[in-house]
Structures are given as C-alpha cells and as structure tokens.
C-alpha cells in the first residue's frame, strides 16, 4: 500500500451504519423538544417542548417520511433509513445555528431579528446540504434532485408562514401584508423569542433567493471537483460518492457497480495444496494471486472466509503476492476463483513424501519453504522490518526463480506479518525494481535449489483451530487462528495463520521465538482479510487486542496440532482464472483523485461557505 492508498484507506474512519428510520426520528424529536426548552420562553415548560417539536421536529418528521417516496417516484434510491438520517443531520444543523445565533443575540445588540435571520439562512443551508446528498445518492441533475431536497426547508417555511400571519389573515380577512405586520397576532400566539420579530413576506422571498443561490453554489462545487475525475478516468465523483455512502451507511453493493466501470480483465493463478488421510481431506491451502480488498465485504474483502467455507478439510487461505491493483471489483468474482479451486482439486496428484523445511534469508527477506513431492510451499516475510503488500510481478518472478532448480508448482505466500500501520510516506509496498523485491526473488531461488536437492521422507500433519473471542473490531476475522504442523524425518514445522490484516511490529518475532522452543521452525502469517477494515483503515493484529494473549493461544494451538500428527499425502496444482480487478495503476489513480477531492473539496467548501455567509448577511441588511 502506497502513501496515497493509505490516505484513501483512512476514509474508513467515516464508515458507519445508518440507524433505522424510527431510531433517527425518535432522536430527532427528542432533540427538537430540548431545543424548544432552550429557545422558547413560554409560561409552561410543556409548551416550550411542543413549540420545539412543532417548529423543528415536525419538518424533520415530514422530510423523513416524504423524501424517500418522492425520490423514488423520480427514479432515485433514497431509503427511509438514509432519508431519516439526513433529516436528523439537517435538524442538528438548524439547532446548532439557532444556539450560536441566540448566544450572539444575547451578548450583542443584534436582537432576536438576528436569530430569525439566522434561522432562514440555516433553512437555505439545509436545502443545499440535502441537494448535495441527493445528487450524490440518487440524481445527478440538480433540477431533479431539488424536489426531494427541498422538502425539509419548504415544510419549515410553511409552518413559519402560517404561524407568523397567514393563518390570522385566513381567519379574519384583511390585508396580507398588514396581517404579517400585525403585532397582535404575534403577541397572542408567538413564543417569547418571536414576539418582537418583524416578519414580512419579503423574508420568504429572501429565503427563496438564498435557496437558489445556495443551490447554484452546490452545483458549481460539484462541477469543479468532478472535472478531474471526468477528464482522467471518465467517471463522475458522484458515482464514487453514491457507492461509498451506500456501502458505509447500509452495507449495499453500490460501490461494486462503480468499481466495475473502472476495472480491467486479468488472468491470475489459483494454487491449491491439499493434505489427505485415508478418511478424506484433512487440510487445504488455497492461494489465488489477488488482493483481498478493498474494504469490508466489497470485492474480495471476504475472500478468506469464502475459501474456508468451500474446503472439506481445515482451510488455510494465506495472503498472495498481490497489491491493491489486484482487488476484485465485485464479490461475484470470488465465485470464479472458487471454480478454479475446484478445477485444481480435480487435477491433484498426491505424494506421501516431503522434504524437511528450510529457512533462507537474503537481505531483508526471510523465506520458510518446504517441498511436497516435486512442488513447494514458501512463505516470505520482511520482519522485523516493516512491509505491506508484495506486487504481483515480484511474486511471479520469485516463483519462476524458485522453479529453476527443478521444482514444479510453487505456492508463494506473503506472510504479511509486520508493519507500522499507515504511518510514514512509504508504507512498505514491495515493488518491482526495489532492493527488497530482489531480496525475495533471490531468496526464492536459493530456497528452490535447496529443496530440489533435499531427500524426501514420509510426512505427518496435525492441525488445530480456534475461532477466538475476538471480533473484526479487534483485528481478528471469522477464521480466527489456524495452525498446521508438519513432521518430516523428525523435524516439526509450525505454520500459523491469523485471520487479520498484518501485525504490529515485534509481535511476529515474539510468537516465532516462543514457538521455536516447542517445534524446530515456525512462521506466522495473516490472511490480509479486509473484513477488519470496515471501521478502521489500520486495524492490525495486536493493535486493539492483547498480543500476549494471542501468543499464549497460538502456543496452545501448536501443542494441540502436535498431538494431532498423523500420516498424510500431499498434492499441489495450479489453475488460472479470468477475473476483473481494479487494474494497473487504477488504484493509485483512484486514491490520488479521492485524496485530492477530500483536500480540495474541504478548502473549496470552506471558501464557498464563507462567501455565502457574507452574501446572506448583506441580503438581510439590505432587505
């Protein structure tokens, strides 16, 4: 993962799940009632509560109930949960503006007219915010999006209109303008904060003008930040926002639709290493050369669990040598990889002999390798140095070098077990041409040469598994911790697979040091599952959980696996699968555009907000 990809991944901090519509409404009404107590000064506190609900809460309720219906009539996709959450956020914006305006009115000579003017500006800002969100989720056209976006503002304006004179006019007749100017109607019906306001019909004309002004600003804002996306990638930023909001708010697959538009076809090897006894399959390692991302269950984020469900024996899906450019664009692509796994299983030729495992170090790279028949499993780590993903081309080159000594199929896993999260400009991506890429390639060649010349002996295998008490929020996925121990010619080797995304520095070394007092050689790998990155961009194993407790658990599982040792046969085969992935440099381009959008969009939004605030103040003073 590069620095810009890390910045993109850090957008995960915005991920949440939209609460149910009834939860949003209940909270909105409670906030409105409290705002009424704080803002109004009637004779009874219950009257304050009612006025808060009437003027602040009811527009929120109407917007929550009516917006999804109107939006869907226009072909949109706003759900009740999203609409309720949006209405609640807008209500909080209104309450916040009123509180600030009330404090300024008390502290200065601005008076209550300033509070009312601020309320009108807040209603215009609510329309602008709802317009932006509606354009992102449902409609690109600002004209089409303006109808559902205006519901909360229009409802609040209508209630204010009726309350400040229209109802009185309809009851007793007379001049509409005089009805608005009549102090009697306000004194007898209005709360204390509104009794001194001079409300005239032109205020609502100003509100309409401000809504048009704010809507124009939103349209211009979207056009500015959208232009780079359209020119360089041929896609709209609204498509990205629509998918991102749908995924983070309700877990939809809309983001996959966006990824499909930018994806490229790729051919990837899928390698299977299976161990069986007379009773059937005991364990299976499956390694498709893709990256299990980009986040959550989007694309291949849940690939390790899908592989585990397919296997008859205990499944081990380690991390392949592939980066974010090889993220699957949709979860449907996982089925293609599973089909390739089935084909590989059908081609397996089992052998009852294996070599002792060998550990090879070259530069920063350390490889643990073992041959089964004429095939070999290798896993590479850069610990104790920091590293993240190994590029696809580096992995292919390392496999080719490993076969030079006479080996056939090579399963090369990236142990992915030591990194410093998202700190620093270089997050440890191993790219072609780097010194560390040659460390791995040369280490694979040396390992292959040593294994090709090593004698073969009967093999035994023992396994153990613990789901663990930890959850994805703790950095551990549903596969928990899985252990396989091989015994060849008296040598015991432990392979530990943790269902997580990389490990905190030093944790791998501590675990391996402990295990090698029980077995001859050991390595700890992670699956790089992105299930654990639904809430946090960096949620490495040991970051949120007790690393010492994990070390003790792994030690117990290794002892359990040693007790489970029994003779097995092993077979390895590789098939190719055609899938759609993000594509070369597309991840970097997407990350760069998204980061630029966040940075430029924030500054641009602040500039627009300041300009609109100044214009609004001038309008109110002039009218």
Segment 357-369, tens digit of pLDDT: 999 999 999 999 9
CA 586 – CA 453 distance, rounded (Å): 42
Tell me what pLDDT residue 534 has.
Answer: 65
Q: How confident is the model at residue 48 (pLDDT cuts 50, 70, 90)?
A: low
CA 513 – CA 518 distance, rounded (Å): 10
pLDDT, average across residues 517-521: 97
Residues 6+ apart with CB under 8 A from 13: 536, 537
pLDDT, average across residues 276-299: 90
Q: Estimate to the nearest angstrom the gap between the alpha carbon of 223 and the chain centroid.
A: 25
Residues 6+ apart with CB under 8 A from 349: 373, 571, 573
Reply yes or no on whether the pLDDT at 536 is more than 70: no
pLDDT > 70: percent of the chain = 75
| Range with lowest mean pLDDT among 318-332, 407-421, 467-481, 600-614 | 600-614
90-105 tens-digit pLDDT? 888 888 887 787 777 7
What values do phi and psi take at 376, rounded to 5?
A: -145, 145
The pair of structure tokens assigned to 604 is: 């641009």
CA 20 – CA 498 distance, rounded (Å): 34
Tell me what pLDDT residue 180 has.
Answer: 43
Reply yes or no on whether the pLDDT at 160 is more than 70: yes
How many other CB atoms are found less than 10 A from the CB of residue 213? 17
Pairing of β 491-498 and β 481-488:
antiparallel
Helix spans in 17-109 (H): 21-39, 45-52, 58-73, 80-107
For residues 159 and 593, the model is more confident at 159
CA 136 – CA 245 distance, rounded (Å): 8
pLDDT, average across residues 52-60: 76
Residue in this structure with the two tokens 């613990």, named with its chain if needed: 466
How many other CB atoms are found less than 10 A from the CB of residue 69? 13
Tell me what pLDDT residue 336 has.
Answer: 95
Tell me what pLDDT residue 579 has.
Answer: 94
The pair of structure tokens assigned to 328 is: 């699957």
311-323 tens-digit pLDDT? 999 999 999 999 8
Dihedral sign for Cα 255, 258, 262, 268, please.
Answer: positive
Reply yes or no on whether the pLDDT at 542 is more than 60: yes
Residues in the chain: 623
For residues 273 and 76, the model is more confident at 273
DSSP code per residue over 325-372: GGBBSSTTHHHHHHHHHHHHHHT---BSEEPPPEEEEETTEEEEEEEE
DSSP code per residue over 234-246: S--HHHHHHHHHH
On the 0-12 / 13-18 / 19+ scale of CB atoms within 10 A, 533 is: buried
The answer, yes or no, to whether the previous bond of 237 is cis (omega within 30 of 0) is no
Q: How confident is the model at residue 167 (pLDDT cuts 50, 70, 90)?
A: very low
pLDDT, average across residues 515-544: 88
Tell me what pLDDT residue 314 has.
Answer: 97
For residues 229 and 281, the model is more confident at 281
Reply yes or no on whether the pLDDT at 63 is more than 60: yes
CA 324 – CA 585 distance, rounded (Å): 9
Residue in this structure with the two tokens 């600002």, named with its chain if needed: 142
Q: How confident is the model at residue 498 (pLDDT cuts 50, 70, 90)?
A: very high
Closest Cα partner for 287 from 314, 312, 320? 320
Q: What is the mean pLDDT of the chain?
A: 82
Tell me what pLDDT residue 324 has.
Answer: 86
Reply yes or no on whether the pLDDT at 189 is more than 80: no
| Range with lowest mean pLDDT among 210-224, 559-573, 579-593 | 579-593
Q: How confident is the model at residue 136 (pLDDT cuts 50, 70, 90)?
A: confident
Tell me what pLDDT residue 456 has.
Answer: 96
For residues 524 and 183, the model is more confident at 524
Closest Cα partner for 55 from 172, 197, 171? 197
460 contacts 487 by C-beta, under 8 angstroms: yes
285 contacts 483 by C-beta, under 8 angstroms: no
| Range with lowest mean pLDDT among 255-264, 331-340, 507-516, 538-547 | 255-264
Reply yes or no on whether the pLDDT at 187 is more than 50: no
pLDDT, average across residues 476-498: 97
Q: Estimate to the nearest angstrom the gap between the alpha carbon of 252 and the chain centroid.
A: 12
Which DSSP helix (H) or strand (E) runs through 465? Answer: strand 457-466
437-446 tens-digit pLDDT? 999 999 999 9
Closest Cα partner for 416 from 287, 244, 564, 258? 287
CA 581 – CA 287 distance, rounded (Å): 16
CA 70 – CA 60 distance, rounded (Å): 15
Looking at residue 492, the DSSP 8-state letter turns out to be: E
| Range with lowest mean pLDDT among 176-180, 516-520, 572-576 | 176-180
Q: Which residues pair with 283 in a beta bridge?
A: 275, 314
pLDDT, average across residues 63-81: 86
Give me the sheet containing 569-581, strands edge to edge.
314-316, 280-288, 264-277, 569-581
CA 547 – CA 48 distance, rounded (Å): 54
Question: Which of 34-38, 418-422, 562-566 holds the top average pLDDT?
Answer: 562-566
Q: Is 432 helix (H, G, I), strand (E, B) or coil?
A: coil
Which DSSP helix (H) or strand (E) runs through 617? Answer: helix 586-622
Question: In this structure, which long-range contacts are made by residues 48-57, counting pairs with CB atoms below 8 Å and at least 24 apart in sequence?
Answer: 48/191, 51/191, 53/29, 54/159, 55/156, 55/159, 55/160, 55/163, 56/31, 56/32, 56/91, 56/94, 56/95, 56/156, 57/28, 57/29, 57/31, 57/32, 57/33, 57/91
Tell me what pLDDT residue 422 has.
Answer: 59
CA 590 – CA 258 distance, rounded (Å): 11
CA distances, 163 to each of 69, 196, 538, 563 (Å): 27, 14, 52, 80
Tell me what pLDDT residue 527 has.
Answer: 95
CA 286 – CA 268 distance, rounded (Å): 13
299 contacts 524 by C-beta, under 8 angstroms: no
Number of H helices, E strands in the chain: 21, 15
What values do phi and psi take at 574, rounded to 5?
A: -130, 135
| Range with lowest mean pLDDT among 1-10, 107-116, 522-531, 579-588 | 1-10
333 contacts 300 by C-beta, under 8 angstroms: yes
pLDDT, average across residues 246-253: 66
Residue in this structure with the two tokens 């910045």, named with its chain if needed: 7
Residues 6+ apart with CB under 8 A from 109: none
């Amino acid at each position: 993962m590069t620095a810009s990809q890390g910045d993109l991944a850090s957008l995960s901090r915005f991920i949440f799940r939209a609460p149910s519509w009834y939860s949003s409404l209940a909270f909105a009404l409670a906030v409105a009632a409290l705002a009424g107590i704080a803002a109004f000064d009637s004779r009874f506190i219950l009257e304050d509560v009612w006025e808060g609900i009437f003027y602040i809460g009811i527009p929120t309720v109407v917007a929550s109930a009516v917006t999804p219906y109107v939006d869907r009539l226009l072909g949109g996709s706003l759900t009740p949960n999203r609409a309720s959450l949006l209405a609640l956020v807008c209500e909080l914006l209104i309450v916040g503006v009123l509180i600030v305006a009330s404090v300024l009115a008390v502290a200065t000579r601005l008076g209550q007219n300033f509070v009312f003017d601020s309320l009108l500006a807040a209603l215009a800002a609510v329309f602008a915010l709802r317009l932006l969100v509606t354009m992102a989720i449902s409609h690109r056209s600002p004209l089409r999006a303006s109808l559902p976006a205006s519901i909360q503002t229009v409802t609040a304006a209508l209630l204010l209109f009726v309350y400040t004179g229209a109802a009185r006019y309809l009851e007793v007749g007379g001049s509409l303008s005089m009805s608005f100017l009549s102090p009697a109607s306000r004194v007898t019906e209005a709360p204390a904060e509104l009794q001194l306001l001079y409300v005239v019909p032109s205020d609502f004309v100003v509100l309409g003008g401000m809504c048009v002004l704010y809507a124009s600003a939103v349209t211009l804002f979207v056009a500015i930040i959208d232009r780079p996306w359209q020119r360089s990638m041929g896609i709209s930023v609204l498509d990205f926002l629509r998918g991102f909001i749908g995924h983070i708010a309700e877990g939809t697959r809309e983001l996959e639709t966006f990824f499909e538009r930018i994806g490229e076809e790729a051919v990837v090897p899928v390698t299977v290493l299976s161990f069986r006894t007379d009773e059937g399959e005991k364990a299976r390692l499956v390694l498709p050369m893709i990256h299990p991302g980009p986040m959550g269950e989007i694309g291949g984020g849940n690939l390790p669990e899908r592989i585990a469900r397919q296997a008859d024996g205990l499944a081990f899906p380690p991390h392949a040598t592939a980066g974010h450019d090889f993220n699957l664009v949709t979860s449907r692509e996982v089925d293609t990889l599973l089909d390739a796994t089935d084909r590989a299983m059908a081609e397996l030729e089992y052998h009852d002999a294996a070599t002792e495992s060998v550990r090879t170090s070259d530069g920063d790279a350390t490889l643990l390798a073992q041959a089964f028949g004429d095939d070999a499993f290798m896993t590479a780590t850069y610990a104790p140095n920091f590293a993240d993903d190994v590029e696809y081309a580096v992995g292919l080159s390392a496999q080719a070098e490993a076969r030079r000594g006479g080996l056939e199929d090579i399963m090369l896993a990236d142990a992915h077990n030591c990194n410093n999260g998202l700190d620093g400009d270089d997050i440890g991506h191993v790219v072609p041409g780097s010194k560390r890429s040659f460390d791995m390639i040369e280490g694979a060649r040396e390992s292959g040469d040593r294994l090709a010349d090593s004698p073969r002996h009967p093999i035994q295998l023992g396994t153990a598994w613990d789901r663990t008490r930890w959850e994805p929020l703790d950095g551990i996925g549903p596969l928990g911790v899985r252990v396989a121990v091989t015994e060849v010619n008296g040598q015991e080797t432990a392979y530990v697979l943790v269902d997580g995304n990389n490990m905190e520095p030093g944790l791998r070394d501590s675990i391996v040091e402990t295990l090698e007092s029980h077995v001859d050689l050991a390595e700890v790998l992670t699956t790089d599952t992105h299930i654990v990155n639904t809430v946090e961009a960096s949620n490495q194993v040991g970051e949120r959980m007790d690393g010492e407790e994990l070390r003790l658990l792994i030690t117990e599982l290794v002892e359990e696996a040693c007790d489970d040792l029994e003779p097995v046969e092993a077979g390895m085969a590789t098939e190719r699968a055609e899938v759609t992935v993000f594509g070369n440099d597309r991840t970097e381009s997407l990350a760069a555009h998204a980061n630029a959008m966040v940075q430029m969009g924030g500054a641009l939004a602040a500039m627009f907000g300041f300009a609109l605030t100044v214009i609004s103040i001038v309008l109110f003073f002039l009218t």
